[in-house]
A and B are shown apart, each in its own frame.
Chain A
C-alpha cells in the first residue's frame, strides 16, 4: 500500500509559496503563502490548499493497548468509507452530497497511526499525519483522553478532527474545540436514557453502588449516572469507587460492595476493563444479591463476557440489528468485505469519514472554516439513527440512544449478543447550550477571523 508519490512536489510548492510570501524570519509556517497557487479562493490555512489530485485523511486508532480490538474495527470502517468515497457503493450512492468519485474531484488516500491509547503518542502520530503527510482530516478515538488530546492539537494546527468513539462529557464540554465534531452520544445521555428504563425495570427508591475507571470518561460517566439515577428513580448512591484504568483483578473492589444494602451495582468500565470486571462480579456471586448495570457496552466486552451478560442493561451507539435502510446498507457492505456484522465502532468511523467528505462537498472547498460551517447545525437522517443534528454551540451530535440488554448465552449468536430494548428519542435526551457540559464549552476560533 504505497502511499501517493507527490508529497515532495506538493511540499516544494508550499515551500516556494512560503518563500514568496514570507517577508523575513517571522513568516508563520503554513500561513505565509498568500494565494497558495492553484484554484484556491481562500488563504492558506492548516493543510489547505490541497495540492495535486489526491487528498489525505489520517486515521489515528489504538492498534495496541486495551482498546486495540476496537481500533481494528474502526480501521475497517474507515477503509470501507475511503473505498466508497472513491469507487461508489454504500452511503456514497445514497447521500446526495457524495459522488462516489472522490471528494471535490480528488482521490481520497489515507494514512494510519497507532495511538496506543496514550494521549502523547496519539498527538505525535497526528502531528506526523498533519506535517508530513498533509492530512486535511484526522479521525480517531476509543479513549476520551486521547480524543481530547488530539482535538486540541487539531485546533492549533487548523486541521479538522472527527471524533470516533469517545463518550466522555468533556469532549464536547469543557474541552470542546471548533475543529472537532462528535456524533457519538455521551455519558450524560447514557444516564438520561438508562435511568427511566432501569427505574421501570427495577423499581424506585433503590440503593446503588458504582465502580468507575479512573480517567476522563469514567469520571464523567459515574457523575452522570449519579445525577440521573438520583433524579429520575429517586435512587440513592452508597458510594462511587475509582479503579485504575487497565485493572485486571477487581476482586478487592468487588468484595467491598455491601451486599445487603446494595440493590444495583454500576460498573463504569469499558473495553478490556469491563471484560474483566463483569465476569468477576458474577463469579463473586454479586448478581444473586443485586442487579448489575454496564452503562456503555461494546463488542469486545460483550464477547469476552458473553456468558455473563444475560439480562444486563447498558447503552450502545448503534446496532447492526437496526432495521432501517442506511444501517442495513452499511451492514451489507461490511459483511461482504469482512464476513460478519460490524460493531458500532466501525459505523462511527465510517460515518465520520462520510460526514467530513459530505461537508467538504457542500462547502465546495477543503478550506477548514467553510467545512466547519457546512457541518455546524447540519441536520440529517441518513446515518442509521433517525434524525440527527450536529449542534452548532458545542459540536455535539443530537441523536437517539439505544438501550440494550444482554441475551442469555443460549440465545446468543456470533454477532447477536445484545437485544435493543429501547431507542430513546433524542427529544428526551441532551441538554441546552447553556446547561450541562455545554455550559462549559468555548469552541475557539475558526481561523479566518
Chain B
C-alpha cells in the first residue's frame, strides 16, 4: 500500500490514503463524495427516493406479482407506515448507532406520544398539533426515564428502560383503561386533515396515482425534516461527541466533557423522534392498542429494524424499517405454489433475513449497499488512483 510512496513514514499512510481518494475522484468519484459531504445532499437524495418509493412498492411490485402469480405488491397504507417507523429508527439509531446505548424501552415514548396525540385529537383534531403534543409528552417523559436509566450502562441500562416501558404498558392495559380504553384499543381518533381540515389525509395526492395519498406526503415531509435534523446533529460538534461516546466513553470524560449530560441529550433526542413517529402512527392508523404502542416487543422491533438497516449510518435504519414492515405485512399474506401460505412463517422469513444480513453484512442493509457501491465505483477509482499515482511519481 505504501510501497510506491517512498517518502511515507507510518504517519503519512492514512493521510495519503485520503488524498488519493480525493484526487482520484476528480473525474467522477470525488464529485459524488463531495456531494455526499454536503449537508443537504442526504436530504435531497431522500426526497428523490420518497417520490418514487410508493410507485415502486405498490405499482411495480404489484405488476411483478401479477406476472409471477404471487401477490407481492404493497398496499396504500404501507409506504406511510414504513416512513413512520423510519422516522423512529433514525432517532433510535442516534442513540444505538452513535452513542452506543441500547434502549429496550423506546415503545414508552412511541406509545405515550401515540396515546396523547389520540387523546388530544378528541379536543383539537389537527394532525400537526397532534404531532406537536405527542412529541412534547414523549420528550417530557424521556427526561426522567433517561435521568434514572443512564446512570447505569450496558445490560442494566437496557433492563431499566425496559422496565419503564413495561410499567406504562401494564398501566395502559389495566388501571389506565379509563384513559386508554384498555384492551379494546383507542379508536375514534379524529384527524381532520391538513390546513384546518381542508385537505383530508386519505385524499389522493395526484388524481391518477392512487398509491400517493396526502397522508403519505405528510409522512414524507416529516421524514425529510427528521433526516435533515438528524443530519445536522450528526455533523455538528455535538454529534461528534455522541459518536465519540460510542467509541470510548472514558476518553470523552478525560477530555473534560460531562458524559452524563451528553448521553441524556442523546436519549431525549431519540425519544423526540420516537414521539414524532408515535403521533404520526396514530394519525395514520386512527387506532392504538397497548400491545402496539407500549409492549416491549415494539421496543425490540425498533432494535431489529435499526440493526437490520445498519447502525452507524444516518438513513440505514430506514431500510430496516422497510424490510421489516414489508415482510410482516406483505410476505405474511403470500401463498406460494408448493409451500402454501406463508402466514405465521413470516417471522422465520424475517429471522432468516436478519441472520443473513447480520452475518454477511455486519453493517446492515445500508452497509451492504455502500460496500457494493464502493466496490463498483470505489474499487475502480482505487485502481485508477494507483495508476495515477504511479504516473505522477
Chain A interfacial positions (CB closer than 8 Å to B): 1-3, 5, 7-8, 11, 14-15, 18-19, 22, 24-29, 32, 63-65, 68, 111-114, 116, 118-121, 123-125, 127-133, 145, 148-149, 152-153, 156, 170, 174-175, 214-216, 219, 242
**Contact pick for B335, options A68, A112, A127, A145, CB 8 Å:** A112
Write the nearest CB–CB distance from A419 to chain B, whole angstroms: 33
The reply to whether B203 and A25 contact each other, CB–CB distance below 8 Å, is yes
Q: Is there an interface contact between A18 and B185, defined as CB atoms closer than 8 Å? A: no
**Residue from the list B71, B182, B208, B344 in contact with A63, Cβ < 8 A:** B344
User: By the criterion CB–CB under 8 Å, are B343 and A64 in contact?
Assistant: yes
Q: Given known contacts A148-B185, A215-B183, is B333 in contact with A111 (CB within 8 Å)?
A: yes
Among B75, B174, B203, which residue has its beta carbon within 8 angstroms of that of A128?
A: B75
| Residues of chain B from 179 to 230 with CB closer than 8 A to chain A in the complex | 182-185, 187, 198-200, 202-205, 207-210, 213-214
Is there a chain A Cβ closer than 8 Å to B23's Cβ? no
A130 to chain B, nearest CB (A): 8
Query: Which of B13-21, B143-151, B287-295 interfaces with chain A?
Result: B287-295
List, in ascending order, chain B residues with CB within 8 A of A129's CB: 333
A310 to chain B, nearest CB (A): 32
Within 8 Å CB of A11, what residues of B?
62, 210
Whether A29 lies near B204 (C-beta < 8 A) is: yes
Complex Cα distance A112/B346, Å? 13
Whether A119 contacts B292 by the Cβ 8 Å rule is: yes
Q: Indicate if B329 sits at the interface (CB-CB under 8 A).
A: yes
Query: 5 shortest A-B CB distances, which residue pairs?
Result: A64-B344, A2-B69, A120-B292, A63-B343, A131-B75
Per the bound structure, the CA–CA distance linking A127 and B187 in Å amounts to 15
Q: Is the CB of A124 within 8 A of B329?
A: yes
Q: Which residues of B contact A113 (CB under 8 A)?
A: 332-333, 343
Can you name 8 A-B pairs with beta carbons within 8 Å? Answer: A8-B66, A28-B203, A112-B343, A120-B291, A123-B287, A132-B73, A132-B75, A216-B184
Whole-angstrom distance between the Cβ of B220 and the nearest chain A Cβ: 16
B42 to chain A minimum Cβ distance, whole angstroms, is: 29
Q: Which of A27, A111, A149, A156 contacts B71 (CB 8 A)?
A: A111
In Å, the complex CA distance between A142 and B333 comes to 18
Contact of A25 among B69, B199, B291, B328 (CB under 8 A): B199
Q: Which residues of chain B (308-347) have a CB below 8 Å from chain A?
A: 328-330, 332-333, 335, 337, 340-341, 343-344, 346-347
Among B63, B71, B291, contact of A3 (Cβ-Cβ < 8 Å): B71
A132-B75, A145-B289, A152-B187 in contact; A29/B202 too (CB < 8 A)? Answer: yes
Tell me which residues across on chain A come within 8 A of B184, comparing CB atoms: 145, 148, 170, 174-175, 216
Least distance between A240 CB and chain B CB atoms (Å): 13
A19 to B183, CA, bound (A): 41
Contact of A125 among B183, B286, B333 (CB under 8 A): B333
Cβ of B285: which chain A residues have Cβ within 8 Å of it? 120, 123
Besides the known contacts A65-B344, A121-B328, 13 further A-B residue pairs in the complex with CB atoms under 8 A apart: A2-B337, A26-B198, A27-B204, A29-B210, A112-B333, A113-B332, A118-B292, A127-B75, A128-B333, A132-B75, A170-B184, A214-B174, A219-B182
Q: Number of B interface residues, CB 8 Å?
A: 53
A214 to B184, CA, bound (A): 11
Q: Is the CB of A28 within 8 A of B287?
A: no
B184 to chain A, nearest CB (A): 5
Q: Within 8 Å CB of B330, what residues of A?
A: 128
Determine whether B168 belongs to the interface, using a CB cutoff of 8 Å to chain A: no
Contact of B341 among A19, A63, A120, A127 (CB under 8 A): A63
User: Is B287 within 8 A of A152, CB to CB?
Assistant: yes
Output the least CB separation between B279 and chain A (Å): 16
B213/A119 in contact, CB under 8 A:
no
Whether, in the assembled complex, B244 has its beta carbon less than 8 Å from a beta carbon of chain A, the answer is no
CB neighbours of A131 from chain B (8 A)? 75-77
Q: Is B74 an interface residue (CB 8 A)?
A: yes
Cβ–Cβ < 8 Å partners of A149 in chain B: 185, 187, 287, 289
Is B70 interfacial (CB-CB < 8 Å)? Answer: yes
User: Smallest CB–CB gap between A14 and chain B, Å?
Assistant: 7
Q: Interface 1/0s, chain B 100-140, versus A by CB < 8 A?
A: 00000000000000000000000000000000000000000
A133 smallest CB distance to B (angstroms): 7
Enumerate chain B residues within 8 angstroms of A127, measured Cβ to Cβ.
75, 77
- For A175, list chain B residues within 8 Å (CB): 184, 187
Q: Once bound together, how far apart are the Cα atoms of A149 and B203, in whole Å? A: 23
Is the pair B66, A1 in contact by a Cβ cutoff of 8 Å? no
Per the bound structure, the CA–CA distance linking A286 and B77 in Å amounts to 51
* Interchain nearest-CB distance for B199 vs A (Å): 6
B173 at the binding interface (Cβ < 8 Å): yes
**A residues within 8 A CB of B58?**
132
Shortest beta-carbon distance from B82 to chain A in Å: 12
Question: A14 touching B337 by the CB < 8 A rule?
Answer: no
Q: Within the complex, which residue of A2, A8, A32, A118 is in contact with B291, where a contact is CB–CB below 8 Å?
A: A118
Report the bound CA distance from A118 to B297 in whole Å: 11
Output the least CB separation between A223 and chain B (Å): 13
Q: Within the complex, what minimum Cβ distance (angstroms) separates B290 from chain A? A: 9
Q: In angstroms, how far is the closest chain B Cβ from the Cβ of A243?
A: 12
B81 contacts partner chain A, Cβ-Cβ < 8 Å: yes
B77 CB contacts on chain A under 8 angstroms = 124, 127-128, 131
Instruction: Choose one: A14, A64, A112; the contact of B210 (CB below 8 Å).
Output: A14
User: Is there contact, CB below 8 Å, between B332 and A114?
Assistant: yes
- Which A residues touch B73, using CB under 8 A? 132
Chain A residues with CB under 8 Å of B70's CB are 2
In contact, A27 and B207 (Cβ under 8 angstroms) = yes
Which of A18, A123, A125 is close to B204, meaning CB atoms less than 8 Å apart?
A18
Q: Do B62 and A132 have beta carbons less than 8 Å apart?
A: yes
A68/B344 contact (C-beta < 8 A), A119-B185, A123-B287, A128-B329 known? yes
- Whether A26 lies near B200 (C-beta < 8 A) is yes
B208:A3 contact, CB within 8 angstroms? no
Beta-carbon contact of B343 and A219 below 8 Å: no
Interchain CB contact under 8 A, B182 and A216: yes
A18 near B183 with CB under 8 A, answer no
A contact residues around B182 at 8 Å (CB): 216, 219
Partner of A124, one of B207, B328, B337: B328
Most chain B C-beta atoms within 10 Å of own C-beta, residue among A111, A114, A123, A129: A114
* Residues of A with C-beta under 8 A to B286: 156
Taking CB atoms, residues of chain B closer than 8 Å to A111 are 71, 333
Which residues of chain B are within 8 angstroms of A153 by Cβ–Cβ distance?
A: 287
